[in-house]
Structure 1
Amino acid sequence: MSADAPVAPELAGRLALVTGAARGIGEAVVRALVERGARVVATDVAADGVAKLAADLPGAVVHRALDVTDAAAVEALVADVEEGTGPLDIAVNVAGVLWSAPVAELTDEQWAATFAVNTGGVMHVSRAVTRRMAARRRGAVVTVASNAAGVPRAGMSAYAASKAAAVMFTRCLGLEVAPSGVRCNTVSPGSTLTDMQRGLWTGAEEDAARRVIEGDLASHRTGIPLGRIADPADIADAVAFLASDRARHITMHDLYVDGGATLRA
């Protein structure tokens, strides 16, 4: 190969499945994988959102509606993708929900719904894809968790607990499938400019963002040492790295992408 020969993108020829792809971090992950040469099956309960994303990235993205809480639907979709589109090399669990409420006000329904998506959905998708990846002795799974999984947050008990469960599930799965050459890692974002983040804010967006960056002693929350709130692309870049061969010797790892906000407690 000559020095001037073009270099293939690092994920060229790979097929990826991304959940929660209609907006925010999930959309950014799809775009990051496509930029690196992958083809992507973008899924979400918001069918219109992933259809629009596929229209923006013609030829590189297939869109499918998917409720990750439905184990049978997940299994059917993965089987259909493998039979009709190709073997999955990468799976990224992004689908997530958040209810913010003190424990005393949190309903049983909110608790159950949070775990159904944030933990159950991760299990359903990861189980379906790694069963096939292990048989081929290759593959990478990346789960988007949260730095709230490692540091207590007032008013976020269900979200934090569900994300902590997803992190440990992914580590256990990674241990089980490591002998088959399949890697399983998590990326744990801090505050990121998404609709979910904005839904927690009160008052003007600029003021709310400043409060997040500066921290709040009254709620026992540190600020962000790097002095900025993450863009979804910051999280997507970390996901793409862990999905790539550059991370070929990394598994069962939890990568915090939070600007130092947790002080890695």
Structure 2
Amino acid sequence: MELTGIESTVALVTGAAQGIGAAVASVLAGAGATVAAVDRNAEALATVVTKLEAEGEAARGYVVDVCDGDAVDALVARVEDDLGPIGILVNAAGVLHTGRVVELSDRQWSDTFSVNAGGVFLVSRAVARRMVGRRRGSIVTVASNAAGVPRTEMAAYAASKAASAQFTRCLGLELADYGIRCNVVSPGSTDTPMLRAMVGEGADFTKVIEGTPAAYKIGIPLRKVAQPRDVAEAVAFLVSDQAGHVTMHDLYVDGGAALHV
């Protein structure tokens, strides 16, 4: 199935310097979008944008901290001045602090929420304000299957992703009258720098696939860890015309790991 409605559209992608965000930027650019790639890691972001440009894709990098409301508002204005009206927003920026609740610091908790929930709010608000006047647009937030399934040593991450997912669905309800669709993609274990840091040296995903009964975590029924592009393709579908009657949906892309209904 060929996806339509992405070509010649400006797509703002946060967290675009690596992992799922970089894959989303690549997939959308490959589908004909002009990508505004956003991240606070200037060096890694430049690498991603340079690669896209070398492949003949339309992309421009913007170094911004999504936790800074004034900077986010200025970013959105600058992107629209540079590239045109934003038709697609993908919130892919995220951070992870692991640890048992009794050991989590105040800073770890607040940092996790600042990016994973606060950043989604600030960027979505800034973009939605402009989409409303145009009465069109699509917003997708990359959450996590941990938002719907309790995980040991991931309370801050899971709670922040749950907040971002429910925020996005509420936003979709408010924006439906304007023809703007808001959806969520919830990945499971995906081969990204974040997962490799969790797994440790060697990045042996055997335990991830098999599950950890002692931690009340089942394995992955499809017997494989996702690749970032698997998630990016799901995002691309949700922002395309082919998902034109889909809004407030939470699409799990986790190989069945959450046993999600």
TM bucket by the smaller chain? over 0.9
Aligned to 1:125: 123
**Contact between 2:4 and 2:242, CA under 8 Å: does it hold in 1?**
no
Q: 1:198 and 1:50 mapped to 2: Cα distance?
A: 19
The residue type equivalent to 2:20 in the other structure is I
Q: Secondary structure at the match of 1:255?
A: strand
Match for residue 260 of structure 1?
A: 256
User: Normalising by the residue count of structure 2, what TM-score does the alignment of the two structures yield?
Assistant: 0.96
SS at match of 1:62: strand
Among 26, 31, 35, the alignment partner of 2:30 is 35
Structure 1: which amino acid aligns with 2:85?
A: P
Residues 174 and 8 (structure 1), Cα distance of their counterparts in 2 relative to 1, 3 Å cut:
closer
Q: CA RMSD in A?
A: 1.3
Rg larger in 1 or in 2? Answer: 1
> Is 1:223 aligned with 2:219?
yes
For residue 11 of structure 1, report the CA deviation from its aligned partner: 1.6
1:236 corresponds to which residue? 232
Other structure's SS at 1:48 match: helix
1:72-122 per-position Cα deviation (integer Å, ceiling 9, x unaligned): 000001011112320000000000000000001000010000000000000
Give the TM-score normalised by the residue count of structure 1.
Answer: 0.94
Quick one: distance in 1 between partners of 2:26 and 2:184? 19
2:165 is the counterpart of 1:167: yes
Offset, 1:31 = 0.5
Change (3 A) 1:62 1:202: closer
Q: Which amino acid aligns with 2:164?
A: A
Percent of matched pairs sharing the same residue: 56
Whether the 8 Å CA contact 1:10–1:37 is kept in 2: the answer is no
Counterpart in 2 of 1:190? 188
- Structure 1 CA distance, aligned partners of 2:105 and 2:188? 25
Q: Is 2:67 the partner of 1:69?
A: yes
CA distance in 2, matches of 1:8, 1:234: 15
Which residue is equivalent to 2:242? Answer: 246
Q: Structure 1: where are the runs of 5+ without partners?
A: 1-6
Q: What is the DSSP-based 3-state SS (H/G/I as helix, E as strand, rest coil) of the residue aligned with 2:225?
A: coil
SS at the partner of 1:42?
Answer: strand
- 1:51 maps onto 2:51 in alignment: no
Query: In the alignment, is residue 214 of structure 1 matched against residue 210 of structure 2?
Result: yes
1:8 Cα deviation from its structure 2 partner: 9.4
Q: Secondary structure at the match of 2:121?
A: helix
Query: How many angstroms does 1:10 deviate by?
Result: 4.7
Structure 1 stretches of 4+ with a deviation exceeding 6 A read: none
Cα distance between partner residues in 2 of 1:258 and 1:57: 27
- Maintained 8 Å contact 1:9/1:37: no
Residues of 1 paired with 2:220 and 2:147: CA distance?
17
Counterpart CA distance in 1 for 2:206 and 2:3 is: 41
